[in-house]
Amino acid sequence: MTFCIQIRTSTHELVFWPLDGQHQPVGDKRVFYYSGFGTHVPDAHGEESTAWEPSLCPVDTDWEENTFSSDELRKLLVEAAPRGVELVAAFDCFLTGAFQDINRVDWTVTGPNQIKFETGVGTPDPVELPGSNSRYLAPPPDAAARMDTAAEERALSPQTADTFESWAAALDGRHGRRVLLLTAHREEQLPIEGGVDAEVKGVATWALTSALEQVEQDPSLQDLIGAMNGLLEEARMGQEVALNVSGNLLVEELSTYKLMADT
């Protein structure tokens, strides 16, 4: 199932998980997909050493009251997930470290991409992407200044290091659910959008739909992400899809984990 985020209020009122446990069989799989912009908002809970917290960017974001921070996102999608239900959350926007209590998978460790590509097939040439833009919306100067001031204050606090270490330890294995987080970029990159097939869309969304056409039916997660990153590399997009998984989902499972099965 896919939810289209329009405004913060309606999004926060969405019921992501049915309340009746009878409709949540063990092994049930849910998919959340967001394509749009991300930003930074002031960290309200003291969990970010930089005081800059990643956030989705609905149309009414004001960097004050109307925000959709990674903390809120984690509570709605992860902590509210019934046990026994698997969640796959994918974001084609700026969003780094959104759940923070699940582990980054390094695809250079899990193995090289085995998908074979034909040069130019289904791959837009960069010259066909006029006006490519980042999917990161910078916060207004006043909000950025407040975050910088808070970051300086935290850096001077002798309690800062202990606070963040204790918080990180408390997150380890906290929710105990099977969660996969797919983001459009690695931490050091910015996701972009541009003109693809006569439409403006995120290139990660383009890579996902194109990869689904290339790989075999019911691909494993590893095959699908390998295909997506192969397309992004061939198109010289300068970004690579990143995956985080919950602690109780073994990296070894990714070669057989079926993303599309039973969704």
Residue 34 lies in a domain: yes
Residue 223 lies in a domain: yes
Residue 61 lies in a domain: yes
CATH code of the domain containing 123: 3.40.50
Higher-confidence residue of 181 and 63: namely 63
pLDDT of residue 47: 67
Residue 136 is given by DSSP the state B
Three-state SS at 10: helix
Average pLDDT across the chain, whole number: 67
Which residue type is seen at 249? L
Q: How many domains is the chain built from?
A: 1
Tokens of 231: 């397309």
How many residues are recorded in the chain?
A: 263
Residue 261 lies in a domain: no
Residue 237 lies in a domain: yes
The listed range with the strongest mean pLDDT (107-111, 130-134, 227-231) is 227-231
The span from the CA of 19 to the CA of 200, in Å, is 37
pLDDT of residue 60: 79
Higher-confidence residue of 3 and 257: namely 257
Residue 101 lies in a domain: yes
Starting at the edge strand that comes first in sequence, how are the strands of the sheet with 38-42 ordered?
A: 38-42, 52-56, 68-69
pLDDT of residue 11: 56
- Find the domain containing 205 and state its range: 8-255
Query: Could you write out the DSSP letters of every residue in 140-175?
Result: PHHHHHHHHHHHHHHHH-TTHHHHHHHHHHHHTTSS
pLDDT of residue 124: 32
Residue 263 lies in a domain: no
Starting at the edge strand that comes first in sequence, how are the strands of the sheet with 103-105 ordered?
A: 29-35, 86-92, 179-183, 242-245, 103-105
DSSP H helices, 103-140, are: 107-110
Share of the chain above pLDDT 70, in %: 54
Residue 2 lies in a domain: no
Share of the chain above pLDDT 90, in %: 1
48 Cβ neighbours under 8 A, 6+ residues apart? none
Q: Please state which of the ranges 48-57, 90-99, 147-156, 215-224 shows the lowest mean pLDDT.
A: 90-99
What average pLDDT score do residues 51-67 get? 82
